[in-house]
Amino acid sequence: MNVHRLLAGALLVLGSFVASAQTASPSLSQATSTARVIVALKPSAAVLRERPMVRALGAEAVAGMARERASSLSSRTGLRLTAGRVITDRMQVITASGLSSTELARRLAALPDVAWAVPDQRRRFQRVPNDPLFSGGPANGQGPAAGQWYLRAPAGAAVSSIDAPGAWARVAVNTSLVVAVLDSGVLGDHVDLVGRVLPGYDMIKDVPTANDGDGPDPNAADPGDWITQTENSQPGGPFQDCGRADSSWHGTQVAGLIGAIADNGQGMAGVASGVRILPVRVLGKCGGYDSDIVIGMRWAAGIHVPGVPDNPNPARVLNMSLGGPGTCDPPYATTIDAFGNVQLGTVDELKALNVIVVAAAGNSVGHPVGTPANCPGVIAVAGLRHVGSKVGFSDLGPEITISAPGGNCVNIDVGQPCLYPILSTSNTGEKEPQAGGSTWTDSFNFTVGTSFSAPLVAGTVALMLSARPQLTPDGIVSALRRSARPFPFTGGDNGDDPTPVTACLTPSTNVDQLQCYCTETLCGAGMLNAAAALETVLSPGSVADRARQLLDHAERQYPQWFPDRLATASSPPFTYRYHPQTGIYVGVVVQPGMGYIFDGVYVMGGPFGSVPLYAGQVQAFITPSGPATARISLPPGSRR
């Protein structure tokens, strides 16, 4: 099979696609950079017949002919074009200023002598950080063998992984962006966090809860939150029935998932390595009080708090891996969303300041979502098993925005390793933090919970804001929803219990609900897809909208190739349609990774053979301005 010939055929067919919708305005980054396009002239082009580029020509003569062709194109487009390097006798690079590469390609492709024109894009290595725990567990054999499975692209059994590398390939982290971690404090001397942690504040008023000998102060380091058996059993004591426990280093673990240093040759990588972490200590022994938490939220966002020095480093993102049962109380509601509480006369609350709040759904085994995750304006995050089903401990309900990995151990017996925990930064101290005690959780000292689902989303939001700082909380939520991957309905099992995994049900405070298959009604829009979320905020229209628009346009304009008006199907990473009359598949890659080019158009079947052939990116054929105007009637219950 002549793959090059077939690919050329695919380009000729698909290269004829032109925009039927209004052209979207180029982004600021596109408009201010040099447009760079590869253009191919038709063999019948007059300029080729008049002066063919024969092989015997020297470099100067070739460059001169390239300039002549650029000049010819300039006269017909009215643009000032510059010749770039020559690729073949009828293909060369053309550059221009004052418009985007997409717009230049569209205008050149409309000329009768041009076969096709596409942006000349910069490609980069598909890199993986050199942190050893990213790919596998530590050499001490403590695991997990899966390493940071939750950050990598979905593969094998790990269906719910978020594809952080796909996002890293699209944006450089804004190192001035601040993400606040409202938690138990952060150990900023951890080797994977050193230099990333800002001076924060300890907001805990109750001295026994604070466990550091005083009330509020500028030291947001975690002194430990251990509870002894004596404290747990003391009648009437402040920590009665809180449960005996060693120090959790919870805030340090959350901070590591968001911003652990990548490419330092040790430990792990954070979702948004490079952001600044603002520790706001609101949890101590046996948790923390709403008053301290609400004050911490306001201070973190840069709002003045009486009696506390103003925060010199206001955060755009607040991660709250904390919560409790009950409805959203007014202190949280009025702090988060001033627009919903204008009768109080407040104008400086978080939503008005474009501050994004991300909160964990809760771990009460499938009960209703707790506070503050159930407050309006909060991005509430549920937890998933590696296979994409709701993990047993995660709460659920209509308040959930999106779901992300929460860690799970699959089948675990005494002494056996947890297979899919959420590995993160920690300390070796059982009570007070140990100097030089930087460590990472593993398969035996493992971390699981929606507490660790939330920072995966918060880190993704930080990447989105790095790409588009002007995004509002509503814009962030919209992009997360539109880019989410659909929940699976297969792949789960209950270990030795033969009971099949069923669909999730409406939660009740009186009934536990273990592993179940998520629905959009109860677990949010889908599974977090960091790479697609970045692409969604960087490109006009949603990933799904662009795919549907191209497929609809193909069927309308080229019925000889795509004659059937059938439902759209999905086979990761493709959204595609199959046309049985011609035997041709045409698809768009809507999930980054897996060896295919994101937003790429592929064809196969019929004259194109049995291997998907890349024909270019969606924007090379059709420039979407929003949802497709043409719709295809779908069978009842089917999904696009």
Which residues form the catalytic set?
183, 250, 451
**Which string of DSSP letters, residue by residue, matches 355-400?**
-EEEEE---SSS----BTTTSTTEEEEEEE-TTSSBPTT----TT-
Contacts of 423 (CB under 8 A, 6+ apart): 133, 137, 144, 147, 148, 268, 440, 441, 442, 447
Distance, C-alpha 231 to centroid of its chain: 42
d(CA 186, CA 256): 9
d(CA 311, CA 199): 9
- Residue from 473, 517, 198 nearest 385 by CA: 517
| DSSP label at residue 418 | P
d(CA 486, CA 489): 9
d(CA 273, CA 292): 28
Tokens coding 313? 């480093």
Distance, C-alpha 55 to centroid of its chain: 49
Tokens coding 570? 């999905």
d(CA 338, CA 449): 30
SS3 (DSSP) at 548: helix
> Phi, psi (5° rounding) for residue 632?
-110, 135
H or E element that contains 620: helix 618-621
Q: Are the C-beta atoms of 247 and 226 separated by less than 8 Å?
A: yes
**Which string of DSSP letters, residue by residue, matches 26-56?**
PPHHHHTS-EEEEEEE-TT-HHHHHS---TT
Phi-psi region of 373 (alpha: psi -120 to 50; beta: other; left: phi over 0): alpha
CA angle 208–214–215, rounded 5-degree value? 90
Q: Are the C-beta atoms of 79 and 96 separated by less than 8 Å?
A: yes
| Helices assigned H by DSSP within 83-223 | 101-109, 132-135, 164-168, 207-210
In 3-state terms, the chain is what percent helix, strand and coil (to 5)?
A: 25, 20, 55
> Phi, psi (5° rounding) for residue 598?
-60, 135
Relative to beta strand 569-571, strand 574-579 is antiparallel
3-state secondary structure 245-266: ECCCCHHHHHHHHHHCCCCCCC
Q: Are the C-beta atoms of 426 and 441 separated by less than 8 Å?
A: yes
Buried/exposed code over 118-150 (b: 16+ C-beta within 10 A; e: otherwise): bbbeeeeeeeebebbbbeebbeeebbbebbbbb
Q: Are the C-beta atoms of 250 and 283 separated by less than 8 Å?
A: yes
Q: Are the C-beta atoms of 418 and 147 separated by less than 8 Å?
A: no
CA angle 267–273–274, rounded 5-degree value? 125
